[in-house]
Amino acid sequence: MKELVESIAKALVDYPDDVVVTEVENGRSLTLKLEVHADDMGKVIGKQGRIAKAIRSVVNAAGANQNQRIQLEIG
């Protein structure tokens, strides 16, 4: 799951080397923390949060296949 978020984020940003995704697992739930360069924050979030919402939808769909609840934190 970490690789999925990382590849999506790297395709969106100008500084792909600064993309960092960390995983925190708590039983059946998984929290992914996405960190990007400060200049790329707007590109990852998008207008009115549309891109962030789309990334979360893809991650949740992938997690549903594995019976996991996944949260994505962008910061």
CATH code of the domain covering residue 50? 3.30.300.20
Hey, how many other C-beta atoms are within 10 angstroms of the C-beta on 8?
Answer: 18
The structural domain count of the chain equals 1
CB 6 within 8 A of CB 19: yes
How far is it, in rounded angstroms, from Cα 23 to Cα 72?
10
CB 21 within 8 A of CB 71: no
CB 8 within 8 A of CB 49: no
In percent, how much of the chain has pLDDT > 70? 100
pTM across the whole model:
0.87
Q: Identify the pLDDT of residue 26.
A: 86
Give me the domain span that covers residue 37: 2-74
How confident is the model over 40-50, as a mean pLDDT?
Answer: 94
How far is it, in rounded angstroms, from Cα 70 to Cα 62?
9
pLDDT tens digits, one per residue of 3-34: 999 999 999 999 999 999 999 998 888 999 99
